[in-house]
Each structure stands twice: as structure tokens, then as C-alpha cells.
Amino acid sequence: MSAFFAVIRRDLILAFRRRAEIANPLFFFILVVTLFPLGVGANPKLLQAMAPGVIWVSALLAVMLSLDSLFRSDFDDGSLEQMLLSSHPLTVLVMAKIIAHWLVTGLPLLVVAPLLAIFLGLPEQALGTLLLTLVLATPVLSLIGSIGVSLTVGLRRGGMIISLLVLPLYVPVLIFASNAVEMAGNGLAVDAQINILVAIFFMSAVLAPLPAAAALKMSVN
């Protein structure tokens, strides 16, 4: 257990020392969302209708861009080898890394997303649901993404392949999350979507670290 918290702590310190790198996904998220009104025109009705989808697609891309940093530097400097050799189960250490990754990339999105939602004219009654879907589903993005990165971390140019591997797996999250926000905006009940997101969250929390750890073992050889 001490190793679990030590890994989280170490990754948070590292993130703090590489602030610029960590801020990139957040700025990317803000930029992409602000590009839409410029591209499709400032029609309030149109923007309001598009808001859930725009915010969610941008969040998804922002998280995906940050995925490579999850294991890259550990792979390059040999820290990953040392983790593999520790007597602690690798899945636990991988889980710690995923949590740290979410804290530095997913959590900031939660803070900015409501502001961007207001900017796009999302109805106030949908803000709570938007936050709830982000709380439930951004960890899922980090979890599922960890499988993709651990498979590609051994390849020198893995960037493009990660998106091909991971984006299709993000589709269910995107569908249920943006649909929930949209329905909440229309004043409808969203229990079903939220329940499914909760299920996806728990399933990926339990299942994702296992293949990620196995793939890391394969990548280091």
C-alpha cells in the first residue's frame, strides 16, 4: 500500500515540476471548444444544441493527447523496469499511475468545463449533469487509455496508433455522457445514462489495470 501512495505522490511531484507539459491538454481543451463558435457561427440555438457533444468530444481528445505521458518517461529512463522488478503487483502500481494521471489531466477539465458550458449557452439545469458525467467518465478515459499506451509505449512513434486503438473504445462513454447532458438540458430524467456510466466506471476500474500491466510487461523486453 505504501508503494501505491508513493507512486501517486511521485507522479504528482513530477507533474508539478513539468507544469508546462501538464497544462497543454487543458489549453487544448479550452481552445478546441472556443474554436467551434468561430467555425459554425455564433447562432445561440445551434451552439446550445451542440454544447454537450462539443465539450465531450474536446474532453476526450484532450485526455487522449495526454495519454502518452502516462508511461513514456518511465519507459525511457528505466523507472518502469524498476517497477516491474518490485515485489509489489504491477497492477497496483499501474492503478496508482492512472489515478495520478487523472488528478493532473481529468480533474482540471472538471474545473474548466462548466465555464465553457456557460460560454456555449448550455442551460443551467444541465450543468450539474455535465459535472457528474465528467466526474464519472474522465477516470474511464484514463483507465481505458492506459491499455492503449501500455501497448504502444515500446514503439517509437506510437502517437497515431494510440488514437486508433483508444478512440473506438471511448465511443460508449461519449454516447452516454453527451446524451445525458443533452437530456438534462431538456429537463428529462437521466438516471439510465448515469447508471450506465457508473457501471462503465466500475468495470474499467477493475478490468483496465490488468491488461495494462500485462501489456507493459510485453513492452519492456
Partner 1 sequence: MDSLGSKQTVLQVEKLSCIRDDRILFEGLDFKLTNHQVLLLEGKNGSGKTSLLRIICGFREQDAGDIYWGGDKIKDSNYYAEMAYVGHLDGVKKELTVLENLKMSLSLGQQGVYRIDEALDKVHLSGYDDSLVQSLSAGQKRRLSLARLLITKNTLWVLDEPFTSIDKQGIKLIESLMHEHIVAGGMIILTSHHDLDLHEVDVQKINLSLCH
Question: 68 phi and psi, to 5 degrees?
Answer: -55, -30
Coil, helix or strand for 41? coil
- Is there binding between residue 6 and partner 1 (CB under 8 A)? yes
Question: Which grid coordinates are listed for 134?
Answer: 465528467
Q: Which stretch binds partner 1 (CB under 8 A): 7-15, 40-48, 158-166, 188-196?
A: 7-15
Q: Report the b/e string of 81-102 with b at 16+ CB within 10 A.
A: eebeeeeeebbebbbbbbbbbb
Pick 12 or 165: Cβ nearer partner 1: 12
Residue bearing cell 437521466: 190
Pick 1 or 188: Cβ nearer partner 1: 1
Query: Which residues in 74-133 contact partner 1 (CB under 8 A)?
Result: 76-79, 81-88
Q: Which stretch binds partner 1 (CB under 8 A): 70-78, 104-112, 176-184, 185-193?
A: 70-78
Neighbours of 2 (CB within 10 A): 7
Per-residue HEC secondary structure of 74-88 comes to: HHHHCHHHHHHHCCC
> Minimum distance between the CB of residue 74 and partner 1, rounded to whole angstroms?
8
Pick 85 or 160: Cβ nearer partner 1: 85
Q: Using the rule CB under 8 A, which residue among 10, 49, 112, 211 binds partner 1?
A: 10
> Minimum distance between the CB of residue 3 and partner 1, rounded to whole angstroms?
5
Q: Report the b/e string of 21-45 with b at 16+ CB within 10 A.
A: ebeebbebbbebbeebbeeeeeeee
Pick 129 or 219: Cβ nearer partner 1: 219
| Number of shown-chain residues binding partner 1 (CB under 8 A) | 25
Distance CA 115, CA 131 (A): 11
Note the residues at the interface with partner 1 (CB under 8 A): 2-3, 6-7, 10, 13-14, 17-18, 73, 76-79, 81-88, 217, 220-221
